[in-house]
A = this chain, B = another copy of it.
Amino acid sequence: MGAKKKLKRKIKSLKSALRVQHAPAAKVALVSPLAPAAFPDLPVIKGARFASVAAGVRYKGRTDVVLAQLDPGTVVAGTFTRSATRAASVLDAQAKIVGDSAKGAAILVNSGNANAFTGAQGQESVAAICAAVAEKLGLPTERVFTASTGVIGEALPHDRIIAALGDLTTALDQDGLPGAARAIMTTDTFPKGTAKTVEIDGKPVQIAGIAKGSGMIAPDMATMLVYIFTDAKIARPVLHALVTGLTDRSFNCITVDSDTSTSDMLLVAATGQADAPEITEIDSDAGKAFADGLGAVMRDLAHQVVRDGEGATKFIEVAVTGARSDADARKVAFAIANSPLVKTAVAGEDPNWGRIVMAVGKSGAEADRDRLSIRFGPHLVATNGQVAPSYAEDIGASYMKGQELVIGVDLRLGEGAATVWTCDLTNRYIEINADYRS
């Protein structure tokens, strides 16, 4: 009887040991721990309608094709990956981006297959989809933009997408943007959306955007895609200049793993249907107000991509000041943000500032070891090339337990500054990327 009780207790303790060991695997986040609490409310953008359907491109039981229809008068600007192995849809959209806005426009996006590295066949798929959408919506093919995200190197079953066009056009709706955010997801753990209202001459202008991306290039499920819609009235050259400049301070300031997609694309479509007056110059009050709003939307979406970085458990801002130039500051910031040794230290909550010194050193930027200072959030860690007298390891260790971290580096050589955002590098990143296709 006593023996039986002992055995039962033994079983209980063994079971509990097993549970503890299973816990990490079982606890693997279905949603990134850095995700926003909820998907935001998105305003209606006059002149834009959206639809998502399940076309079965690759996934089963979920939406995977999005159509956006944009009224005549909509201007479209964009930025595209600089990869030398760009996908066919990227090359196609790049060629069309400067086109005439008189007849409206459409954007069609599928998830599940990236149609990348598919040769001539890939171009034929893009042409077939564009022709079908153009016919269905009465648009010239030059006003149809497509994007594909998913597995690389497999032929896109574009007939499934074309077969879904009837359902898509029927479903077009001004409230369809949140659904579109879900349909373009691949390895993303949460849909990404954000919105901002700005006032121009006392009249509201709405800006709403969605994005996908998880890992700079999500595994073979390639691509970061961003679509932003606004009812602003704005000339295309002005919108283009704004988008280019703001991309450099948002999406070009993030890194998850330093890997670049073959299909990254950002499109901003302005329908011109707001009551606010037209924005004709960047430097005008109207231009600045709109740039503030658009910049906030782009930065928020860029941060959400980092927050969904594969395996991420910490959101890291790297702020570099005092560089000889902004370009030098950027080199230092990215050397830190891309360093596997810095990122694993953060994952381990290790205030290992020696690795930051190392990353500064390897960046290629001008640096003087004996002027350098380093901060963890508000805490001065190192100054004049040595550990700060006020610093103690437990200050850094305690700071590193936070989920939102700021690494500050002051080179004390000039006025150059740059801020970039990244996440930590964890076992989960390896698991996702080593096992993804098997």
Contact = CB atoms under 8 A, between A and B. Distances in A.
Contacts of A386: 117-119, 121, 153
Residues of A in contact with B, size category: 35 or more
Interface in A132-190: 151-153
Nearest to A349: B438
A83 B358 contact: yes
A262 B259 CA distance: 25
A284 interface: no
Interface centre among A349, A386, A430 (most CB of B within 10 A): A430
Contacts of A387: 117, 153
B217 A433 contact: no
A5 to B, nearest CB: 10
A155 to B, nearest CB: 9
A280 interface: no
Given A259-B358, A261-B358, A437-B352, A85 B219 contact: no
Contacts of A258: 338-340
Interface stretch (A10-18, A66-74, A98-106, A235-243): A10-18
A248 B292 CA distance: 48
A58 B431 CA distance: 35
B18 A433 contact: no
A350 interface: yes
Nearest to A372: B85
A362 interface: yes
A258 B425 CA distance: 14
A36 interface: no
Interface stretch (A267-275, A297-305, A363-371, A415-423): A363-371
A362 B116 CA distance: 14
A361 B119 contact: no
B83 A340 contact: no
A353 interface: yes
A357 B152 contact: yes
B352 A220 contact: yes
Interface in A346-388: 347-350, 352-355, 357-363, 365-370, 372, 382, 384-387
A344 interface: yes
A265 to B, nearest CB: 14
Contacts of A81: 361
A257 interface: yes
Interface in A63-117: 81, 83-86, 116-117
Nearest to A437: B350
Nearest to A217: B358
A350 B84 CA distance: 24
Given A14-B14, A85-B367, A357 B430 contact: no
A7 interface: yes
Interface of A: 3-4, 7-8, 10-11, 14-15, 17-18, 21-22, 81, 83-86, 116-121, 151-153, 215, 217, 219-220, 222, 257-262, 338-341, 344-345, 347-350, 352-355, 357-363, 365-370, 372, 382, 384-387, 425-427, 429-431, 433-438
What are the 9 closest A-B residue pairs judged by CB atoms, nearest first? A348-B434, A152-B354, A85-B361, A83-B361, A260-B362, A344-B433, A14-B14, A84-B367, A119-B386
Given A257-B341, A344-B430, 10 more contacts: A83-B358, A83-B362, A117-B369, A117-B382, A152-B357, A153-B353, A153-B382, A257-B340, A262-B361, A350-B438
